[in-house]
Amino acid sequence: MKASAPVGVFDSGIGGLTVAHAIGERLPLERIHYFGDTAHMPYGERSPALVRRYAVRIARHLVDKGCKALVIACNTASANALDAVREEVGDRVPVLDVVAPVVARAVASGAERIGVVGTRATITSGLYGQLLRQAFAAGGGNSDTHDVREFATPLLAPLIEEGWHTNDIIEPIIRGYLERAGFAAGDLDALILGCTHYPLASASFSKVLGGGTHMLDAPEAVAEALAEVLRNHGLASEDQRGEHRFEVSDLTPSFSASAELFFGTGLKLQPFDLWAD
């Protein structure tokens, strides 16, 4: 595998562009080949078996196209399909997910009372809670001081795609979810934003929870983890960056408009019908 090859990044749709953007900032010499499965989003409402089937097919596509490493830039696919993706392509390229780097940061932050928000399929998997509890137990934490609570917030991703992540519509919805989960402001040391859409709404979460709750999300942590993996595998690009490629399995004007929100600058989505037969 050549260092000049692109890094494959995929998500159920356009949320993973928050991670792609951070990779572009942290590793400006790297070329990104992004795939957003807009034909099948939201993955958060699908069964684990279906998410695995989609993720494995996309991974094969990106690696067959020559990607040197793969980033599953979707919490739902990371939580439900990481093993299956590694089984499919892990002997050809390193595969990174978005859960492990954020869990590592949460543990390193020293937070003891941690909330996790994400899609229904991410929260149902229980993966964040499992990894955090394991890390707490390994570090000698006990259940009197350490607490992890996960809750699904499925209305948020569509609101964020609509561009409503910083207005006064999203805040009562966040507040409603927190109340339903039994939290009051000040109850949490940290909140893991366990969906690649949510970094855009970080300020709104902070407003509802108060400044004492530390927000943890994937983009920067994953870009850092990728830098380390590429270095360790001798795969870090040393040449001037080429063109990124952004493919989606279904292209509509609204996806194009939302994509700019997530990537921060203009980008051209290309339709690619991976599911043609």
Among the options 14, 67, 195, 226, which is catalytic?
Answer: 195
Q: Cα torsion for 38, 128, 233, 244, to the nearest 10°?
A: 20
Least distance (Å) between residue 40 CB and ligand DGL: 8
Least distance (Å) between residue 216 CB and ligand DGL: 14
Which of 11/189 has CB closer to ligand DGL?
11
Question: What are the helix (H) ranges across the chain?
Answer: 17-26, 48-64, 75-89, 99-108, 120-125, 127-138, 156-161, 170-180, 202-209, 218-232, 253-263
Q: Give the whole-angstrom CA distance, residue 163 versus residue 210.
A: 22
Q: Residue 9, CB half-sphere, CA atoms under 13 Å: how many?
A: 29
Q: Give the whole-angstrom CA distance, residue 146 versus residue 137.
A: 9
Least distance (Å) between residue 144 CB and ligand DGL: 31
SS3 33: strand
Select the residue whose beta carbon is closest to ligand DGL and give its number.
Answer: 44
Which of 30/217 has CB closer to ligand DGL?
217
Which of 5/81 has CB closer to ligand DGL?
81
What value, to the nearest 5°, has the Cα angle with vertex 41 and ends 18 and 72?
Answer: 45
Which of 122/213 has CB closer to ligand DGL?
122
Which of 50/135 has CB closer to ligand DGL?
50
DSSP label at residue 75: H
Among the options 5, 32, 69, 74, which is catalytic?
Answer: 74
Q: Are 52 and 81 in contact (CB under 8 A)?
A: yes
Which secondary structure element, helix H or strand E, spans residue 11, and what is its range? strand 7-11
Footprint of ligand DGL (CB under 6 A): 11-13, 15, 41-44, 74-76, 118-119, 122, 157, 195-197
Least distance (Å) between residue 197 CB and ligand DGL: 5
Least distance (Å) between residue 242 CB and ligand DGL: 26
Altogether, the residues listed in the chain come to a count of: 277
Rg (CA), the chain: 18
Q: Give the whole-angstrom CA distance, residue 27 versus residue 21.
A: 10
Which of 237/249 has CB closer to ligand DGL?
249
Least distance (Å) between residue 79 CB and ligand DGL: 8
- 67 is known as an active-site residue: no
Which secondary structure element, helix H or strand E, spans residue 270, and what is its range? strand 269-271
Active-site residues, by number, are 74, 195
